A and B are shown apart, each in its own frame.
Chain A
Amino acid sequence: MPKLREILGHPFWQAVALLVAAYLLFKWGIAVLPPLVGFPSAPVPQSVVLQYMLTALVGILIYVSYNEARWRRFKEPINATLVDANKRWLRATLLVLVPALVGFVAYDQSRPKVSAPLQLRSIHPAPPGQITVRGRTIRLAGLENPLRSRGTIEEHSREGRRVYYQNCLPCHGDLLDGKGHFAHGFSPTPLAFDDAGTIAQLTESFVFWRIAKGGPGLPREGAPWNSAMPAWEDFLTEDEIWSVIIFLYEQSGWEPRRWEVEERAEGAGHE
Chain B
Amino acid sequence: MWATNLKVLALALAVVGFYTVVANIIPQLESEVPEALALGDDVTPEQLVVAGERVFNGAGQCTTCHGLGTRAPNLLTAHAGEGAIGARCGDRVAGQDCKAYLYASLTDPGAFVVAGFGNIMLDVRRQLPEDQIWAIIAFLQSLGGDVTVTGADLPTEAGGAATPAAAGPARSTTTDPMALLQENACLGCHAIDGAGPPIGPSFDGIGGRISTDRIRSGILDPDAEIAGGFEQFAGMMPKQFGDQLSAAQLETLVQFLAGRR
Contact = CB atoms under 8 A, between A and B. Distances in A.
B32 interface: yes
A239 interface: no
Contacts of B31: 220-221
Interface string B23-57: 00011011110000000001000000000000000
Contacts of B27: 119-120, 122
Interface residues of A, number: 7
Nearest to A125: B29
A221 B29 CA distance: 6
By DSSP majority rule, is chain A's interface helix, strand, loop, or mixed? loop
By DSSP majority rule, is chain B's interface helix, strand, loop, or mixed? loop
Contacts, number: 13
Contacts of A137: 42
A122 B31 CA distance: 13
A140 to B, nearest CB: 14
A135 B40 CA distance: 11
A117 to B, nearest CB: 12
Contacts of A135: 42
Contacts of B29: 122, 220-221
A135 B27 CA distance: 34
Interface in B5-29: 26-27, 29
Nearest to B34: A128
A122 B30 CA distance: 12
A161 B32 CA distance: 38
A94 B110 CA distance: 87
A40 B137 CA distance: 62
Nearest to A126: B31
Interface in A108-135: 119-120, 122, 135
Contacts of A221: 29, 31
A177 B102 CA distance: 60
B182 to A, nearest CB: 47
A120 B25 CA distance: 11
Contacts of A220: 29-32
A135 B42 CA distance: 9
A219 B30 CA distance: 11
A60 B59 CA distance: 61
Contacts of B42: 135, 137
11 contacts: A119-B27, A120-B26, A120-B27, A122-B27, A122-B29, A135-B42, A137-B42, A220-B29, A220-B31, A220-B32, A221-B29
Interface of B: 26-27, 29-32, 42
Across the A-B interface, the 6 shortest Cβ-Cβ residue pairs: A120-B27, A221-B29, A220-B32, A122-B29, A220-B30, A220-B29
Given A120-B27, A220-B31, 8 more contacts: A119-B27, A122-B27, A122-B29, A137-B42, A220-B29, A220-B30, A220-B32, A221-B31
